[in-house]
Amino acid sequence: MEKKKTISVLVTNQPGVLARIAGLFSSRNFNIESLAVGETEDPEISRMTIVATGDELVLEQIIKQLNKLIDTLKVIDMDENEHIERELALIKINTEGKNLTELMHIVNIYKGKVLDTAPDCLTVEITGDDNRINSFIELAKNFGIKEMVRTGTIALARAKKKK
C-alpha cells in the first residue's frame, strides 16, 4: 500500500552526503517528493527532511539502510511522533485586469506577505503545511500564476509536555 512518509535524518555536514542518501531512494526507484537540508544548531551537523511516497515495507527498509550509512547520526520517522511541518512558497501572481481587492483578501486570509509588486503582478510569500500551501495555490490559479517556487517540507518533533 502506498504511504507518504516524512523522515528526518541528522548527518555529518560534509560533501557527498546528500548524494549518497538520495542514491538510496533512486536505487529503489522512489521519487523524493520534498527535500530540505540545512545546518542544525551545530554547524558540523545537517538535518535532512525527506518526504517520499511509496510501499510502506520498502520505505521501512530505506530507513534501516539510512541508519547504516557512515555519515548518518540519527534517523527519525516523523510520522511516529507528533511533529510540526512547514513549507514556504513564493508565488508570482498575475494582476493584469484582475480584481486586486479580491486577491489581497485571499492573501490576507492565508496570512501571506506581499514581497514585490509590479504593474502586472504581485509576488506573495505563503507559509504553512502542505495542505495550506496547496489550497492557496488552487485559489491563485484563478488569477494566473506566472512563476512559483516551493521549499521542501521541514519538520521537527513537538516538545514533550511536562505532566
User: Which domains are seen in the chain, by residue range?
Assistant: 2-80 (3.30.70.260), 84-156 (3.30.70.1150)
pLDDT-wise least confident of 6-10, 92-96, 142-146, 159-163: 159-163
122 near 103, Cβ under 8 Å? yes
Q: What is the pLDDT of residue 28?
A: 79
On the question of pLDDT at 119 being above 80, the answer is yes
Residue 148, SS3 per DSSP: strand
pLDDT bracket for residue 102 (50, 70, 90): very high
On the question of pLDDT at 137 being above 80, the answer is yes
On the question of pLDDT at 29 being above 90, the answer is no
pLDDT bracket for residue 12 (50, 70, 90): very high
CA–CA separation, 47 and 74 (whole Å): 9
Q: What is the pLDDT of residue 57?
A: 85
Q: What are phi and psi of 112, to 5 degrees?
A: -80, 165
CA–CA separation, 58 and 35 (whole Å): 18
